[in-house]
Amino acid sequence: MRSKDKILGTLYGQAIGDAMGMPSELWPVQTIRKQFGGQITEFLDSTDNNDVAINFKKGEYTDDTNQALAILDSLFETNWVPDQKNIVKHIMKWADEVGAWTNNILGPSSKAALKAIRNGEDPRPVTDKALTNGAGMRISPIGALFEPREINELVNMVYEITRVTHSSDVAISGASMIAGAVTAAVADYSWDEIINFALKANDQGFALGAPTWAAKTHDRLNLGIELAHKYQYDEPRFSQAIYDLVGTGTMISESIPAALAIAYYAKDVHKSAILCANLGGDTDTIGAMATAICGAKGGASSIDDDWKKLIDTKNPQHHFNDYADKMLKFQARK
């Protein structure tokens, strides 16, 4: 059953995982350990030697959460009917405001697709081949709009939103996997049921995208779950196994299965955010996705009040309470 607490848990989980993982974004695990003296355990400013995160301060979330909220802003404006031009308008508004075109903030697929649209060109040559994780990093809140029985409507909305910048099979499947996990978590499914529902959504989404040669997110997630069971009582070895075998880079086929496996392993916002921040690779994006799922499962009431307050204080451009109120009123169109 959808509730405001669960919706807020999704939003705060997304923002917390994003902001906690920001300082270590796109660094190998060895660099993270050397830079931070072992392990990140709290929100931190970015360091001057991280070219990607250099402009961010403690508790600020990045493009992952900002784009997720831009998509929600578009859906509010169009009465929940995904409109390609309107979504692009809202994402570009954010990108222009933060200087995303020149400050190395936009992901490669999103940047290329948005530039094509801005120049009046057909973005499909870019979007049909898009293999990077912009498709999944911003989709978590969409999962909080639906009930599990509405899986067809969920996957269709994911497709309509995602194809603006990512229309490949792996992109649609990966985004559907993340959104599906959130839907099942909001419904308070068991963790095994969450994974099964995410796989079902993934497979429906896969059929809608343009064919690619990318590794399959379905099989990569199964591997991640096997590792979660194998290293159930050994977090360092689990983390290393995800890093080595599933992968933690910017590719959809790595980061999205990794995020699901980590959410399954961690099962709560605090553990997920810290695990992701120290993982190596695309730490903020994996953190956003994994921790959103944990937040959807536990609800905002399960999250440290100081963490939520920091997110609110450091990101005054958004008010999660208002977003949750609007999201709670959503009804799927049959």
Q: Is 31 annotated as a binding residue?
A: no
Does residue 181 lie within any of the structural domains?
yes
**305 marked ligand binding residue:** no
244 is in an annotated binding site: no
Q: Is 5 annotated as a binding residue?
A: no
Give residue 30's pLDDT band: very low, low, confident or very high (50, 70, 90): very high
Q: How confident is the model at residue 45 (pLDDT cuts 50, 70, 90)?
A: very high
Using one digit for the tens of pLDDT, what is the confidence trace for 160-198?
Answer: 999 999 999 999 999 999 999 999 999 999 999 999 999
Tell me what pLDDT residue 270 has: 98
Q: Give bridge partners of residue 210 from the DSSP assignment.
A: 168
Report whether pLDDT(111) > 90.
no
pTM of the model: 0.97
Q: Is position 266 within any domain?
A: yes
Q: Give backbone dihedrals phi and psi of 168, rounded to 5 degrees, phi first.
A: -80, 165
Kindly state whether residue 30 falls inside one of the protein's structural domains: yes
Full domain range(s) for residue 142:
4-328
Helix (H, G, I), strand (E, B) or coil at 21: helix
203, part of any domain: yes
312 is in an annotated binding site: no
Which one-letter DSSP state was computed for residue 216? P
- The string of pLDDT tens digits covering residues 236-261 is 999 999 999 999 999 999 999 999 99
Of the chain, the end-to-end C-alpha distance in Å amounts to: 18
Residue range 7-15: mean pLDDT, rounded: 98
Count how many residues are written for the chain: 334
- Distance (Å, rounded) from C-alpha 131 to C-alpha 315? 29
Q: Tell me if 333 is assigned to some domain.
A: no
Is residue 237 one of the residues assigned to a domain?
A: yes
| SS3 label, residue 132 | strand
Asked if residue 332 has pLDDT above 90, the reply is: no
Q: What's 41's domain CATH number?
A: 1.10.4080.10
Range in 4-13, 80-89, 154-163, 192-201 the model is least confident about: 80-89
Confidence tier at 334 by pLDDT (50, 70, 90): low
Structure tokens at 170: 């792996």
Which amino acid is present at 166? H
- Within-domain flag for 334: no
What is d(CA 267, CA 297) in angstroms, rounded to the nearest whole number?
A: 8
Overall average pLDDT of the 133-140 stretch = 96
pLDDT tier at 100, thresholds 50, 70, 90 = confident
Question: Does the structure show a pLDDT above 70 at 233?
Answer: yes
Separation CA 254–CA 279 (nearest Å): 13
Nearest Cα to 183, choosing from 324, 293, 80, 323? Answer: 293
Name residues whose C-beta falls within 8 Å of residue 228's C-beta, 6 or more positions apart in sequence: 238, 261, 264, 265
Domain count, the chain: 1
Which residue stretches of the chain are H helix? 4-21, 29-35, 63-77, 84-98, 108-118, 124-127, 134-137, 140-143, 151-162, 169-186, 191-206, 217-230, 235-241, 252-266, 269-277, 283-298, 305-314, 320-328
Residue 78 lies in a domain: yes
282 is in an annotated binding site: yes
